[in-house]
Amino acid sequence: MSLFNTQNIRIYNSLSGEKEVFKPLNEGYVGMYVCGPTVYSNVHLGNVRTFMSFDVVFRYLKHLDYKVRYVRNITDAGHLENDADEGEDRIAKKARLESIEPMEVVQRYTVDFHNILNEFNFLPPSIEPTATGHIIEQIEIIKSIIDNGFAYEVNGSVYFDIHKYNASKEYGILSKRKLEDLIHNTRALDGQSDKKNPQDFALWKKAEPQHIMRWPSPWSDGFPGWHLECTAMSTKYLGEQFDIHGGGMDLKFPHHECEIAQAEATNNKSPVNYWMHANMLIMNGKKMAKSTGNFILPNEIFSGDNPHITKAYLPSVARFFMLQAHYRSILDFTNNGLLASEKGFFRLMDAINIIDDLKISSTSSFDVNTWKQKCYDAMNDDFNTPILIATLFDAAKFINQVKDGSATITKEDLELLKQTIETFTFDILGLVNVSKENSGTDKLSGAVEILIKLRKEARLNKNFALSDKIRDELAEVGIQLNDSREGTTFTTS
């Protein structure tokens, strides 16, 4: 019997605002679509957090023996600067500024995206389609929407008629926004004169002469609207209706709202049964922003080369840190949080690594079967990784008690405990087993801390020549010491 027959998942559905029992459209099969990155810059940590949430969902569904088709797109055209219908294409702008081809930009940052996700031990999706690879499908959807009376063409551009759609359906059903409120809060903007209504959104934009990325269509040489690509790719690979659509909370409106409208206008049916949204990532209690310096790139976590952290961290430590918050909760990224997670991560790894050395007894003082079901209960409750991690630590505590002789376990329970804790830790949470003793970053930190203490002693003894020598020679090998009132920390480059 497949595991999904014994475990009932409940998913928080953004559409209903409630947790619902998960029942796929086709028994034993799951179709899942997640909005991927726009590849015009290095992937940022907020993106990583979102994709990590759905990597865990993907892993767990596969563990339950579902046959999962996971589609995560690459946006390589059509995403304008202000997420609306005006401005310059983000990729084309980057290409213009650097005097390179747009596809060079796409290639560079797609490779970066994959490299970062590999560092975090992500599973690849089943299909990773691109927007530019599905222009024909997008044009065909636009034709259908026009034929069904929900879109109009003006001067070579095609717009979705929100008011016409809302007369028979409900625009705002996902974000719980009312069209009347949107109308009241919309200002007239320059460049929107072609639209019947300011709320209408572009399905196809006629390209200005200077616009680099363009394709022929029945209406003009131009490019598709940003929202359209996901409708085209999700329906092509998952069907007119599929099980799960995921993405960041910031995509709920207008992007996902427009996806629903496009699909309804094309096929006259709701496209998705379960909408899932991961919450935002902040840093030190504030919004992450390059403009304010409150910002960190994933690679800087691994190198320690960022003023907001005091050392380098393993990718699995950073992954463990992020999974200690539920995907629907805001996560505050802090150095103290990483330090605490590092200790917890190695405590869990140390416990797992001594399982094979535990002494076998004739009785068990721990109910392994009940504990195992608690692991499943945590994941079944809207993929609650924080509760799962707490449950794994219950086992880690017991393992240490067996080692100390204050608890006992039978051979059969030991085998079940080992299989279960490794499955949930490595296969489902996606962590990588690294012992503290074998961690290069831990050894580096220890060595540098010794040198920092020696430097502090030299300064107290007014031996400034030695103090400066330690600082300068560390700098030569890429380790910068940072002095402050709180003490001395270091970063690596």
Q: List, in sequence order, every residue forming a beta bridge with 80; answer none if it has no partner.
A: 89
Q: Is 255 annotated as a binding residue?
A: yes
Band (174; pLDDT cuts 50, 70, 90): very high
Please provide residue 58's backbone torsions phi and psi, each rounded to the nearest 5 degrees.
-60, -45
Distance (Å, whole) CA 119 – CA 351: 24
Distance CA 83, CA 80 (A): 5
pLDDT of 362 > 90? The answer is yes
pLDDT at 218 over 90: yes
Q: What's the pLDDT band for 146 if we cut at 50, 70, 90?
A: very high
Residue 193's pLDDT is 65
pLDDT score recorded for residue 458: 79
Pick the closest to residue 20 from 380, 350, 348 (CA basis): 380
| Residue 8: per-residue pLDDT | 97
Residue 277 annotated as binding?
A: no
Q: Is the model more confident about 478 or about 72?
A: 72
pLDDT at 486 over 60: no
- Asked if residues 104 and 91 have their Cβ atoms less than 8 Å apart, the reply is no
pTM (2 d.p.): 0.87
251 — pLDDT class (breaks 50, 70, 90): very high
CATH 1.10.730 fits 282-437, yes or no: yes
| Angstrom distance (rounded) from CA 79 to CA 348 | 42
Q: How far apart are the first and last CA of the chain?
A: 52
- Side-chain half-sphere exposure of 36, counting CA atoms within 13 A: 28
230 is in an annotated binding site: yes
The residues that bridge with 332 in the sheet, in sequence order, are 282
Q: What is the rounded average pLDDT for all residues in the chain?
A: 92
Can you give the residue ranges of every domain in the chain?
Answer: 27-278, 282-437, 439-492
> With 80 as the cut, is the pLDDT of residue 170 above it?
yes
Neighbours of 446 (CB within 10 A): 10
The pLDDT, as a whole number, for residue 468 is 85
Classify burial at 370, counting beta carbons within 10 Å of its beta carbon; exposed 0-12, middle 13-18, buried 19 or more.
exposed
**pLDDT confidence of residue 189:** 46
Task: Please give the angle made by the CA atoms of 247, 249 and 252, to the nearest 5 degrees.
Answer: 80
Is 375 known to sit in a ligand binding site?
A: no
Residue 447: is it exposed, middle or buried by C-beta count within 10 angstroms (0-12/13-18/19+)? exposed
Is 259 annotated in a binding site? The answer is yes
pLDDT band at 490 (very low <50, low <70, confident <90, very high): confident
Give the Cβ contact number of residue 415 at 10 Å.
Answer: 13
Tell me the CATH architecture of domain 27-278: 3-Layer(aba) Sandwich (3.40)
